[in-house]
A and B are shown apart, each in its own frame.
Chain A
Amino acid sequence: MPEPVISISETCRERLGYAAAFTPALLDPEIGEPEVIAGPNGKSAKKRYDVYRNNVTVSLINALSDTFPATQRIVGEEFFRAMARLHVRQSPPTSPLLSDYGRDFPDFIEDFEHARNLPYLADVARIERAWLDAYHAADAAPLHGHMLTAIPPETLGQAVFTTHPATRVVRSRFAAVTIFSVNRRNEPFGRVKAGEPEDALVTRPRLEVFVRRLPPGGARFLESLMAGEPFRKAVDAALEEDGDFDLTANISGVIEAGVFTAVMVSEHGDNG
């Protein structure tokens, strides 16, 4: 093996320190503009550097605003942007794909003391984050109902499902699905009982993203199937969580929503 080549001299290395010098003040208003820059002809660079600060912060706040429109509508634009600004400074993106940004924003909202009087807000944000993931997920043809009816009843208990790439389940102790829906539509709405627990199914069987409220036990049923557990085990888990679990309604809902892409029955007995 040849010796590792050091391609850049020490002087050059110093000259490549501009990014390390330029960035710290971008998201921290307490730090003055970097010393490596200047205005032309001896001019000051304060307002000039502020253009970059502003571009960075405002564009990232805008990215959060685009991803979480219902959350913004609930708290109002001014509150939302102030909250988003804090989040942008604490947790700037680590990927150039802004569609991936804001994954930890719902947790940030949950811990944000000024939003404590809106305990459902973080869950609404979780649904919105799931909505964007479903929007950009890989395309796949959903499972046809006849694939399921073709399975002999005696082996159905062992059936294992493949989840559609767009499928997400979001569980909430609050009426997050209803609150999401009415605020996302941007229309006037009546009184919502916020304390009613609601679970969301987010899917995109084709090009349109759907957010539906799952029936009792439905979330547990889906989480079990999505984790690769066999059908019987999923049914048991759902019934254990909620005695009102309606298997027929859940199966037809799951097929209609395109939650899965494939089903497989193992040849060797049911271990579940």
Chain B
Amino acid sequence: MVAVPIIEGARAARFPAFPVGGTAGASLKPEHLAAIHADPAPVGFFEVHAENYMGAGGPPHAALAAIRERWPVSLHGVCMSIGGPQPLDKDHLRRFKSLVERYEPALVSEHLAWATHDTTYFNDLLPLPYTQATLARVAEHIDEMQEAIRRPILLENPSTYVVFPESTLGETEFLRELVRRTGCGLLLDVNNVFVSATNHGFSALEYLAGFPLEHVGEIHLAGHAEQEDDEGALLLIDSHDGPVADAVWKLYEIVIGRSGPVPTLIEWDSDIPDWPVLKAEAEATQRILDREAACPARGMAHA
């Protein structure tokens, strides 16, 4: 077995406590490792999908440890199934906890979605109705996860393609209430807002006006793909396979103008480009963050 020290209390940190505030980061992809280590100034932080580092040992852990020695890491969970009705998978919770202890991530996040039902894992971020019943259940799950890892998580707003007629709460209302009940923070995915707004025909700006930005600890930006719905209208797919769309950059600048320089990640998970392309997206993000940091007086004026 690999030694994963689980020592309570005064445990000496194994990695430097790098600050992550006000920086732009990038998804960590194995194909970029050599280029990243050769780059004198790559990005502010790297984000990994927790599940890709849940094996016992081998190259993934060696690579992540080498990254964590030099830069802050954000641990992003994809399959905790927090938004599902059934109890959380205790084995998965234990694996997640040991990753948090092993890598001391600067940020820890999960999704408002679910992926497992009964014993089947569907490998997708599936949607849930927003009702008092689901609110209570999701809050229990967040409590359980936060107790297990002994720190608050950031919960990400989903991109969705369907609605549940049984929903009685709006998504921002649902998220706001989860923050109040559990003390969790939020991960605002601006691309998801744009995708869902387009797919469901609501205003992204109105959604953002109702989003509790004061609780946002991280922002995601990503590319999306275009399809059509049954009526021939535009249906956007949260594909993470290309550059950030112009409309999403616009929304992002508005958000940053209101929230201040929140750490922001460029997600790119499919059709992965060469490192300089991904880095250029992060650099564009960093310029927006730096501009805001230089003149922070605008406050909530854009809302």
Q: Which of B51, B116, B129 contacts A18 (CB 8 A)?
A: B129
B55 touches A99 (CB 8 A): yes
Query: What residues of chain B have their CB less than 8 Å away from a CB belonging to chain A?
Result: 1-2, 51, 54-62, 78-79, 81, 84-86, 89, 92, 114-117, 119-124, 126-129, 131-134, 136-137, 161-166, 199-201, 227-231, 233, 235, 237
- Which residue from A12, A22, A39, A49 sits with its C-beta under 8 Å from B136? A12
Number of A-B contacts (CB under 8 A): 160
Interface status of A271 (Cβ within 8 A of chain B): no
Q: Could you tell me which residues of chain A, from 1 to 38, have a CB within 8 Å of some CB in chain B?
A: 8, 11-13, 15-20, 22-23, 26, 36-38
How far apart sit A134 and B56, CA to CA, in the bound complex (Å)? 10
- Neighbouring A residues of B114 by C-beta, 8 Å: 19
Chain A residues within 8 Å of B119, by CB: 94
Interface centre among A51, A92, A138, by most chain B C-beta atoms within 10 angstroms, is A51
List the A residue with the shortest CB-CB distance to B122: A56
CA distance A138 to B199 in the complex (A): 44
**Interface: A55 (CB within 8 A):** yes
Name the B residues within 8 Å of A92 (CB-CB).
120-122
On whether the beta carbons of B57 and A63 are closer than 8 Å, the reply is no
Q: Contacts A55-B124, A207-B62 hold; do A48 and B162 have CB atoms under 8 A apart?
A: yes
Pick from A38, A40, A135, A137 the residue with the most CB of B within 10 Å.
Answer: A40
Closest Cβ of chain A: how far from B290's Cβ, in Å? 36
Of A48, A60, A137, which is within 8 A of B123 by CB?
A60
The residues of B that contact A56 with a CB separation of less than 8 Å are 122-124
Interface residues on A, range: 35 or more
Is A272 among interface residues, defined by CB-CB distance under 8 A? Answer: no
The smallest C-beta distance from A120 to any residue of chain B, in angstroms, reads: 27
Q: Are B229 and A47 in contact (CB under 8 A)?
A: yes
Given contacts A12-B136, A96-B92, A98-B123, contact A40 B163 (CB under 8 A): yes
B162 near A37 with CB under 8 A, answer yes
Chain B residues lying within 8 Å of A59, measured Cβ to Cβ, are 123-124
Q: Could you say which of A96, A99, A207 contacts B79, with CB atoms under 8 Å apart? A: A96
How far, in angstroms, from A8 to B138 measured CA to CA in the complex?
A: 13
Interface, chain A (partner B; CB < 8 A): 8, 11-13, 15-20, 22-23, 26, 36-41, 43-49, 51-52, 55-56, 59-60, 63, 92-99, 134-140, 165-166, 204, 207
A223–B132 Cα gap in the complex (Å)?
57
Given contacts A15-B134, A16-B137, A37-B164, contact A44 B56 (CB under 8 A): no
Q: In chain B, what residue has the closest Cβ to A19?
A: B117
Given contacts A39-B163, A44-B231, A46-B230, A16 and B85 within 8 Å (CB-CB): yes
- Smallest CB gap from A98: residue in B: B123
Q: A138 with B56: in contact, given A40-B201, A48-B161, A52-B126 (CB under 8 Å)? A: yes
Q: A39-B230, A40-B200 are known contacts. Are A207 and B120 too (CB-CB below 8 A)?
A: no
Q: Which of A22, A37, A63, A136 contacts B163 (CB 8 A)?
A: A37
- A18 touching B55, Cβ below 8 Å: no
